[in-house]
Structure 1
Amino acid sequence: MTNKLRTPAVAAALALAATGLLPATAAQATPREHRQTRDCAGLTVSEGWYGDNKARLDRLMADHCRTKGDKPVAVFDWDNTVIKNDVGDATFYWLLRNDRIRTPRHGDWSTTSRYLTPEAATALGEACPAGVRTLPTATDTDCADQLLSVYGNGTTTGGKKAFDGYDHRRIEPQYAWLAQLLHGWTTRQVRSFAAAARAENLAAPQGATQQVGSSKVTGWVRYYDQQRDLIRALKASGFDVWIVSASPEPVVDVWARGVGVEADRALGIRNTTEHGRLTSHLKGCGGVRDGEDRMITYIDGKRCWINQEIFGVRGPAAERVQPADRRQVFAAGDSDTDISFLRDATGLRLVLNRNKNELMCRAYDNGDGRWLVNPMFIEPKKRKTAAYPCATTGYTAPDGTAAPVRRTDGSIVPDQQDTVY
């Protein structure tokens, strides 16, 4: 999944980029010579775009169209960025409704995640039967409810914390747990599960719910026409378009084809394998080895996986911000989970407003003028009446504590008002 490394940029751009997340230089922003913009694609879907966002995206594509040399890179988050709702959730619900979660090895739930608390492991062991190959979650409400609570809420049904002891900028154990619960299945089988869930959720009417255990949960997903159009136009303009998601990679592979992105351009949580079947351990990135389970495609982990798989950066260097010529030109996201790879983009950064604190603090602060904020294309959020708490608690530290959002130079981002809704 690795592209050739990018050709060196001008010395001035490299020197500035090496200092960290600085605004793009004039050399980066200026279109390269020998562009042929008259044949370049533009956006055809106008509805849903806020202000001059469509015009600026069209200009970005025109500026980079038919670039000689390596293709410029565009990276999209998936859930609630390219589609409405969450394909990881949709797949998990399908697994529960169809008895597709395997009993953990020796019935020991702590083997499914190194971050699972003893209280959660005990609760799962008490709620779910041992000695069966797959759990009867379609009919066993207690087991389904416990799994759903641990995955969806991060707590047991009794309110006990389910995960602890992790770096909050590198991994979200709840997201990782879905991939880890796929242990025992082959990648091909997981893709078939995802395809079945996809068919159900696309066929369901907007707003539909489904019964999982004793709960009613979301039962529909839709592709955003605007994002499908944008991906088409970027590809036609010569961009190398990638998806990076905190859902399991085989699941993302299935869904990404619906917007013309093939599996070799979709990054998600990767399991290690044993005898051709997925294990409960995860592939590593940067300085994290396979099986250590300490980093997934989440916040800083997304940066690492992009640097490693798209730009060919190996070892601990993949965890760091790269020179401008080895970073994506365009990025799109909707959540704090996307903040690192969005900040790395040298051209434009499209944010769908879901009222997420750190992301909206940085997008509205917009120090280099390259952030585009847009309401969600389906069921947009209402205006957040209170200011985003950027100066106090908008940032989540690696230990999970709240802190001020800071710019690259260390200055604190002031509280921001919600103006795009």
Structure 2
Amino acid sequence: MISSATTPQTSAETPDSEENWFPENLARIMDWLATVTTRPQANEPVAVFDFDNTCIFRDIGQAVFRFQLQRLQYRLIPEQLAAILPRADIQLAGRPLPAIVATLIETYQTLFPLLIFGRNKQALRLPQAELFTTLLLWFTDQARKDDRLGPRFVLPFMAKLLAGFTTDELRFFAIEVVQAAQAEPLVEEWMRTEAPDPIGPIETSFPLGLHLHPEMLALMHRLAAQGVERYVISASAEWLVEGAVRWLGFPIPADHIYGIRVGLDSGEVLTIKDPSGYPVTYREGKAAIIAHFLNDRPLLVAGDADTDYEMLTLPTADIRLLINRRQSGLISSLYTDPRILLQGLDLTNGRFRPSRETIG
């Protein structure tokens, strides 16, 4: 259950201090850090980090989404779910989107009377639970890949599924999820179900496990010691990132964390409304956050995927750190860019390795 306490605590766990940087990357960063704080400049130097798959291995937004599915931990009413699902008459991965949307709404309407009274375990035993959870996971995954929907739809959609929770509850939910995910193996788990025609059989998967990168934690502490301001700009819901950052011990003030936002009601309760005057923190939205909310342009930026492309190519950056997840798409064009510090991973254990190349 989500805690109702008011102050998230920091994890007592001391992360492995071993550093598996590609040596040239660490040397470049340390040489830069030795000189940057002595330069004459109007403001303190700034470093900006993506969070998911950059500071940590895995994605806090996706992990919370999975835990919501597995527990049917929802508070939004069926009418809210219907309002945030797309209504386009298109095919999604060869299946008619109107039928997918109708099935999601119908199954959730069956489950919700139990959820509203906290009878989640009873709801999970209903046949509609397997259909709803598998179809929602499949829909979200396919919508993210679809050119007509894509991350600009899916990222706010995932945040709006948290409607009804308070921002403080979400900070604690993130901590609960991190604690559980840290104990999981780094494997892929599959879900399958037989949806009614014309949808048919579907299967989808999600990754288990999550941990911080001790090298990134140590880097942030070095930056803090040298007076470099640290910011996080994430494509996960902002309050989830705040909880994970605090628990994992990253030295990032809460007001230096930017993520996906939704409109809030009184009492800091999430709604399904879009926030006014705030961009989706994806690609150009991340650059917009830097332009409009940060006091100065960053001299160090770190990311891992297409969502970070505009941030990683800002002309002011001295250090551009790219975690090599062997991604296709736009970000792959930076893998051979001489301005980029490409940091390799061992995907079998989710750890840095002393190479530019990624294995596993």
Give the TM-score taking structure 1 as reference length: 0.65
Residues 93 and 212 of structure 1 are in contact (CA less than 8 Å); yes or no, is this contact kept in structure 2?
Answer: no
Matching of residues 14-413 of structure 1 within 5 Å = 47-65=19-37, 69-106=42-79, 109-113=81-85, 118-130=98-110, 132=113, 134=115, 136=120, 138-139=124-125, 140-154=129-143, 165=148, 171-204=151-184, 206-207=185-186, 217-257=206-246, 258=248, 259-276=250-267, 277-284=269-276, 289=277, 295-311=279-295, 326-344=296-314, 345-356=316-327, 357-366=329-338, 370-376=339-345, 379=348
Is the alpha carbon distance of 1:79 and 1:363 closer, same or farther for their aligned partners in structure 2, counting shifts above 3 Å?
same
Q: Deviations over 1:58-86 (max 9, x none)?
A: 01111113556521110111111111111
SS in 1 for 2:272: strand
Percent sequence identity over aligned pairs:
25
The unaligned stretches of length 5 or more in structure 1 are 1-43, 156-160, 312-325, 382-417
Residues 65 and 237 of structure 1 are in contact (CA less than 8 Å); yes or no, is this contact kept in structure 2?
Answer: yes
Per mean C-alpha deviation after superposition, the further-off stretch among 240-249 and 301-310 is 301-310
Give the aligned partner of residue 357 of structure 2.
420
What is the CA–CA distance in structure 2 between the aligned matches of 1:118 and 1:306, rounded to whole Å? Answer: 38
Q: Deviations over 1:113-172 (max 9, x none)?
A: 5677544421312332346273856441111111111223328xxxxx9x7755x6xx53
What is the CA–CA distance in structure 2 between the aligned matches of 1:227 and 1:194, rounded to whole Å? Answer: 20
Give the aligned partner of residue 408 of structure 1.
none
SS in 2 for 1:242: strand
Is the alpha carbon distance of 1:419 and 1:189 closer, same or farther for their aligned partners in structure 2, counting shifts above 3 Å?
closer
Is the alpha carbon distance of 1:267 and 1:220 closer, same or farther for their aligned partners in structure 2, counting shifts above 3 Å?
same
SS in 1 for 2:233: strand
Q: Deviations over 1:240-263 (max 9, x none)?
A: 001111000010001112222232
Query: Which structure shows the bigger proportion of residues in helix conformation?
Result: 2
What is the CA–CA distance in structure 2 between the aligned matches of 1:211 and 1:327, rounded to whole Å? Answer: 42
Q: CA deviation at 1:185?
A: 1.4
Is the alpha carbon distance of 1:189 and 1:45 closer, same or farther for their aligned partners in structure 2, counting shifts above 3 Å?
closer
Q: CA deviation at 1:217?
A: 3.4
Which amino acid in structure 2 is aligned with residue 121 of structure 1?
Answer: V
What is the CA–CA distance in structure 1 between the aligned matches of 2:168 and 2:114, rounded to whole Å? Answer: 19
Q: Deviations over 1:278-322 (max 9, x none)?
A: 1112224xxxx46xxxx41001111112222213xxxxxxxxxxx
Is the alpha carbon distance of 1:362 and 1:218 closer, same or farther for their aligned partners in structure 2, counting shifts above 3 Å?
closer
Residues 78 and 109 of structure 2 are in contact (CA less than 8 Å); yes or no, is this contact kept in structure 1?
Answer: no
What is the CA–CA distance in structure 1 between the aligned matches of 2:317 and 2:206, rounded to whole Å? Answer: 38
Alignment length (residue pairs): 306
Q: Deviations over 1:314-342 (max 9, x none)?
A: xxxxxxxxxxxx41100001101100011
Q: Deviations over 1:331-382 (max 9, x none)?
A: 001101100011114211001111223223134133xxx311110265489x
What is the CA–CA distance in structure 2 between the aligned matches of 1:45 and 1:350, rounded to whole Å? Answer: 20
Is the alpha carbon distance of 1:361 and 1:152 closer, same or farther for their aligned partners in structure 2, counting shifts above 3 Å?
same
> CA-atom RMSD, angstroms?
3.0
What is the CA–CA distance in structure 1 between the aligned matches of 2:257 and 2:192, rounded to whole Å? Answer: 31
Is the alpha carbon distance of 1:55 and 1:377 closer, same or farther for their aligned partners in structure 2, counting shifts above 3 Å?
farther
Whose relative contact order is higher, 1 or 2, with alpha carbons under 8 Å and at least 6 apart? 2
What is the CA–CA distance in structure 1 between the aligned matches of 2:82 and 2:336, rounded to whole Å? Answer: 42
Q: Deviations over 1:361-420 (max 9, x none)?
A: 134133xxx311110265489xxxxxxxxxxxxxxxxxxxxxxxxxxxxxxxxxxxx973
What is the CA–CA distance in structure 2 between the aligned matches of 1:154 and 1:89, rounded to whole Å? Answer: 14
Q: CA deviation at 1:51?
A: 4.4
Give the TM-score taking structure 2 as reference length: 0.75
Which amino acid in structure 2 is aligned with residue 346 of structure 1?
Answer: A
Which amino acid in structure 1 is aligned with residue 251 of structure 2?
Answer: G
Is the alpha carbon distance of 1:363 and 1:63 closer, same or farther for their aligned partners in structure 2, counting shifts above 3 Å?
farther
SS in 2 for 1:332: strand
Q: CA deviation at 1:207?
A: 2.0
What is the CA–CA distance in structure 1 between the aligned matches of 2:174 and 2:215, rounded to whole Å? Answer: 23
Give the aligned partner of residue 93 of structure 2.
none
What is the CA–CA distance in structure 1 between the aligned matches of 2:228 and 2:65, rounded to whole Å? Answer: 33
The unaligned stretches of length 5 or more in structure 2 are 1-15, 89-96, 194-203
Residues 242 and 254 of structure 2 are in contact (CA less than 8 Å); yes or no, is this contact kept in structure 1?
Answer: yes
